[in-house]
Structure 1
Amino acid sequence: MTVKVAIAQMNSIVGDLTGNATKIRDLARQAHAAGADILVTPELSLVGYPPEDLLLRAGFYVQSALALSTLANELAEFPGLHVLVGHPHQVADAHYNAVSVLLNGSVLASYCKHALPNDMVFDEKRYFEAGNQPVVIDVKGTRFGINICEDTWTAGAPLQAREAGAQVLLVPNGSPFHLNKEQLRFDVMRNHVCAAEMSIVYANLLGGQDELIFDGNSFVLDKDGRCMLQMKHCEEQLDFIDFIDGVPQQTRCEPTLSTEAQIYQALVLGVRDYVTKNGFPSVLIGFSGGVDSALTLAIAVDALGADKVRAVMMPSPYTADISWIDSREMVKRIGVRYDEISINECFTAFRNTLSEEFAGLKEDTTEENIQARIRGTILMAMSNKYGSIVLTTGNKSEMAVGYCTLYGDMAGGFAVIKDIAKTMVYRLCAYRNSVSDVIPERIITRPPSAELRPDQKDQDSLPPYDILDGIMQRYMEENQSRAEIVAAGYSEADVERITRLIKINEYKRRQAPVGIRITHRAFGRDWRYPITSKFRD
């Protein structure tokens, strides 16, 4: 007997119960028209994921229950279609992360998530209690079990489903993207689901939610771990697969993208969703003619269209001629509105105002930071006036060591490349130019500079970026000690310097705008170090 399963790689909006229900109903209509017997939507698809402290509000559960009941009634127009919908579920005083199977106008069954993740970006134990019962439904003679996301990252819940008779495991997911996550999912599902002699339908959420990116990449594996279907990266999609007597039939598997393509598409999705879901009409970017702002500008245009992006060049007395030339060339290529607003008069006014206070003192980073703060003030004034959100352009390497200015280049609403190391910035620029040549080559090849003093270069203040990024990755992302990093071949002086800078600049990062998470450990939800601390490992 053939069972057709539809997988909805859907982009929910947190808290938009009406909009999400409408989207599920539309997907059900398409699935039913295609002859599907089952439609699987992602984890908490009805309310969006993660809802965070909305889950502490009683009214959130009341409205979720009402929305689920209303949706179940509406789906009665699609007889025979089993629709898996993720939602928060309250039973007496207990709260669960649940999936309900809606069929012919009613709730056929509800499954409560067993394994509650409480590490990295997850803190589900703050909100939910763990379920402990399997749910298996029979559809045309094939027995489908249900797990939710983290349940399949250990062997317990899949084995329980198998022991209850499941042949196929349906798994709604809210699995966020980070580098190499696609292969990691395959490996874990093969170890915990296919090893239990079950096929798996892995339906993953799509979209940007604050700093998190949900990349889709939903898939189906047979019980031997072979890919039967893989859906697209960072694209909303509805796809189908047939099961004959519980065995998935080969359709197609999307080719794995390069690392640079995966990251770039995730950044585009993150910008598009943050800006549009929060209702901003357009974005502003302080464009210096440097590589970071060039990459940010390209991402913004790809995400929103050139008509919603405005680049503002704010030259100072130290801005090089090539910065003007390269900036004008790139905005010509990319087609955005471009303005040049000199900060010279403002800088002179600040110097004059502080001349008596600073009499007899040498110029230093104070004067450099004044320039950055003037630029930040100009951008935020324009943001206030026009309602546009400012996209900041600082990268992870700079954020790590504090090579950024509070209330200056850190001023803004969304940090696009906050989790992108400088060495990866160059790789992403090369990738974007391989699609179409939008970033002038000299922007990529010239030595990076903040241009806040004469003939300034980043490497005057920092080690070479390949060294900085290597130490940062080992210390911050991989939790290696200083001794381990030195043993890996880095100089003790560089390791001591970089790790010290990471520690003392925690106060800056706490005041930085939210930004897109790309690695498995980003500054933000993953990184919770105290500002006040004397510990040294």
Structure 2
Amino acid sequence: MCTLNIGLVQINPVLGDFEQNLNKVLEVWTQVDGHSHIVILPELALCGFFPADLFFETDFLLNLNKTIKKLIEASENFNSTLIIGTPYFDRGLFNSALVIKKGAVLAGYYKRCLNETLNERKYFYQGFKPLIINFKKFKIGISIGWDCWKDNGWFHFYEDMDIDLLINLGAFPYYVGSFQERQKVFKALAQRFNSYIVCSNLVGGQECWVFDGRSFVIDPYEETAVLLSGFKEDFCIFSIDYESILRKKLSNTQAKKEIEPCKFCVFDEIFLEDKRTPLRFDGKKEPSLAEEEKVYKALVLSLRDYVEKNKFKKVVLGLSGGMDSSLVACIAVDALGKERVIGVFMPSPFTSKESKEDAEALAQNLGIEFLEYPIGEVFETFRKTLGYSDFDVADENLQARIRANILFYLSNKKGYLVLCTSNKSEASVGYGTIYGDMAGGFAPIIDVYKTMVYRLAKYRNHLKPDIPERVFLKVPSAELRPGQTDYEVLPPYEILDQILYLYLEKKYSCQAIIEKGFEKSVVEKVLAMVKRAEFKRKQAPFGPKVTKISLVADRNYPVV
């Protein structure tokens, strides 16, 4: 039996920490080297995601080059062939997949379909030819990202070459539904090529991006043969045999075009040899996760990586006794541990007794440090100093800004990271105070609709009931004046979130949303609020993207 053993690896690199990333690569390579012919690591695994203008800094490029040389030298100690994603110089800088073995770079594949969102064309030259690896009877194609799906990629070339295996190095960011979209694309390729598809994806958080890993192998029958863990580093060794591929190809009734590929495309081709007798390993399959669990894990991973990679000691956030701050506190504890989370309760004259009780109960349940700083006296001092006696929205916003000042004072004194607790629904329509409750160093739920906030809170309480039950039941309120509720300004969140989803993510027009059955005056009001709030969002903190169209990562509208 002709068999190919592959070590499939997903890691969480630190952007620019070349030494740590190299050590991580060598450590996992050591673990899988014994019985692997080929070891695969994701796109940009050696430098981390995404360097952007660091590519213009000489020190960064020199360190990158040194690290690649160290990796090539270290490969002398391994028997398997490494395929790893990294930027690479070849008369220009390319987003590359290097094929390394026994002290040499055997080949380099360069990404063709450069990412427009990241403006990759600003930093990389476009790849100009595909790569075929021959190992025993196996014909293996290499790709990065969407190179084998987009029309200007190598889809037709690899199909005509009748490859047996497509290896894809990915840095595919997570959002709700992204994994299903990714699998659908690669299953279609498996069916089209009658081949195995192997996708190694990054893990980790980097500013507004989260990478979920969940690297996979799809067999020629479009079945998921291997699925690695979600939102954490993982690896496995699996085997494929040539006979299973051959049987699928022979059973395929579609006529193949008889063409000579080199006539229409110049390509690189290398031959790998390995005389060892391979062992056969079964693949591993991670259990499927509910949507709430996936989103929650993405938020936890994103916050943990942001804090750890930036070396913050602790995080601090305002606890209001409401749902948003309660969920963010839970995320922070699950990401960092209770010892590194400080909750601050800052009551005003309008704060209810129930809110104080709920905030205290939450802090006690989580086991976090709880501080209380009443703002009533400071609030009145501001008003007297400014000489105004009437009470309006400026006085409401003043309370939020006093609270932000307290949090940032603690941040400066102690070196803590201030967490913003704004959600996507409120940020979309500007229902928040700029430099007040919209302020912070990182916003964990900035891309989470309010209705999803409640779903995530219920999921988290199912694991451990830390959020008081009353928080789920009371009407949302900023408590900036007597009897205030969110619904004085906003429609119910169940309606608001549907309108926002259709407008922001489905790109529906105002009329198209109205035709979905929503009240005309409500739709017009919501869309007007979204447009007016653009200036607030431009100055708000970023947070992880978990929806397809994030206000932070994807929306780019002018303020004026």
Name the TM tier (shorter chain): over 0.9
In structure 2, how many angstroms separate the alpha carbons of the residues matched to 1:78 and 1:89?
Answer: 22
Deviations 1:7-64 (A, max 9, x none): 111001111111111110111111114x111111110111112211222335433332
Correspondence 1:413 to 2:441: yes
The RMSD of aligned alpha carbons is: 1.5
User: Percent sequence identity over matched residues?
Assistant: 38
Aligned to 1:70: 70
Give, in whole Å, the separation in 2 of the partners of 1:341 and 1:282: 19
Q: What is the letter of the counterpart of residue 491 of structure 1?
A: E
Q: Give the distance between the partners of 2:324 and 2:554, measured in 1 at CA.
A: 23
1:125 equivalent among 116, 121, 125:
121
2:141–2:165 CA contact under 8 A, matched in 1? yes
Match of 1:10 in 2: 11
Separation of aligned partners in 2, 1:393 and 1:255: 31
CA contact (8 A) 1:146 1:161 kept: no
Q: 1:179 to 1:341 in 2, by over 3 A?
A: same
Distance 2:448 2:363 in 1: 23
- 1:299-448 equivalences under 5 Å are 299-355=331-387, 358=388, 362-448=390-476
Bigger mean CA deviation after superposition, 158-167 or 178-187: 158-167
Superimposed CA distance per residue, residues 214-255 of structure 1 (whole angstroms, 9 cap, x where no aligned partner): 001110001221110111111111112111227587634223
Within the candidate set 457, 477, 488, 2:505 is matched to 477
Give the residue type in structure 1 aligned to 2:202.
Answer: L
Match of 2:172 in 1: 175
Q: In structure 1, how many angstroms separate the alpha carbons of the residues matched to 2:243 and 2:438?
A: 54
Query: For the Cα contact (< 8 Å) 1:143–1:246, is it kept in 2?
Result: no
CA offsets per residue over residues 274-294 of structure 1, 9 Å max, x none?
000011011001001100000
Deviations 1:241-273 (A, max 9, x none): 111227587634223211101100000000000
1:19 pairs with 2:32:
no
What corresponds to 1:196 in structure 2? 193
TM-score (norm 1): 0.95
1:491 alignment counterpart: 519
Q: Does 1:514 align with 2:542?
A: yes
* Distance in 2 of aligned mates of 1:524 and 1:500: 19
1:233 to 230, 233, 246: 230
Structure 2 equivalent of residue 138 of structure 1: 134
**Alpha-carbon shift at residue 165 of structure 1 (Å):** 5.5
Q: Which amino acid aligns with 2:385?
A: T
Contact residue 61 and residue 88 of structure 1 kept, 8 A: no
User: What letter is aligned with 2:465?
Assistant: D
Letter of the structure 2 residue corresponding to residue 29 of structure 1 = T
Counterparts of 1:246 and 1:212, CA distance in 2: 40
Tell me how far 1:459 sits from its aligned partner. 0.6
SS at match of 1:220: strand
> Is the partner of 2:211 in helix, strand or coil?
strand
Q: 1:102 is paired with a residue of what secondary structure? A: strand
Contact 1:145 1:162 in 2 (8 A): no
The whole-number CA distance in structure 1 between the counterparts of 2:96 and 2:504 is 34
Q: Cα distance, 1:453 vs. partner?
A: 0.3
**1:244 is matched with which residue?**
241
**Corresponding residue for residue 49 of structure 1:** 49
The CA distance in 2 between the partners of 1:227 and 1:160, in whole Å, is 24
- In the alignment of these two chains, the number of paired residues is 523
Give the Cα–Cα distance (whole angstroms) in 2 for the partners of residues 379 and 396 of structure 1. Answer: 22
Unpaired runs of at least 5, structure 1: 533-537
CA 443–314 in structure 1, closer or farther in 2 if over 3 Å, else same: same
Q: Which residue pairs with 2:60 in the alignment?
A: 60
Task: Supply the distance in 1 between the matched residues of 2:244 and 2:150 (Cα, whole angstroms).
Answer: 23
* Deviation of the 1:478 alpha carbon: 1.3
**Higher mean Cα deviation, 12-21 or 267-276?**
12-21
Deviates more, 1:240-249 or 1:97-106: 240-249
Shift of 1:436: 1.4
Distance in 2 between the 1:67 and 1:12 partners? 14
Amino acid at match of 1:77: N
Contact 1:113 1:147 in 2 (8 A): yes
The answer to whether the 8 A contact 2:236-2:283 is kept is no
Aligned to 1:184: 181
Give the equivalent residue in structure 2 for 1:217.
Answer: 214
* Corresponding residue for residue 89 of structure 1: 88
Compute the displacement of 1:140 (Å). Answer: 4.0
Between the aligned partners of 1:530 and 1:77, the Cα distance in structure 2 is: 54
Contact 2:140/2:166 (CA < 8 Å) preserved in 1?
A: yes
Quick one: distance in 2 between partners of 1:30 and 1:129?
34
Q: TM-score, normalised by structure 2?
A: 0.91
Alpha-carbon distance in structure 2 between the residues aligned to 1:473 and 1:344? 38
1:410 positional shift? 1.6
Give the C-alpha shift of residue 126 in structure 1. 2.2
AA at the equivalent of 1:2: T
Q: Distance between the aligned counterparts of 1:313 and 1:198, measured in 2?
A: 58
Counterparts of 1:512 and 1:140 in 2: how far apart (Å)? 56
Tell me what 1:535 maps to: none
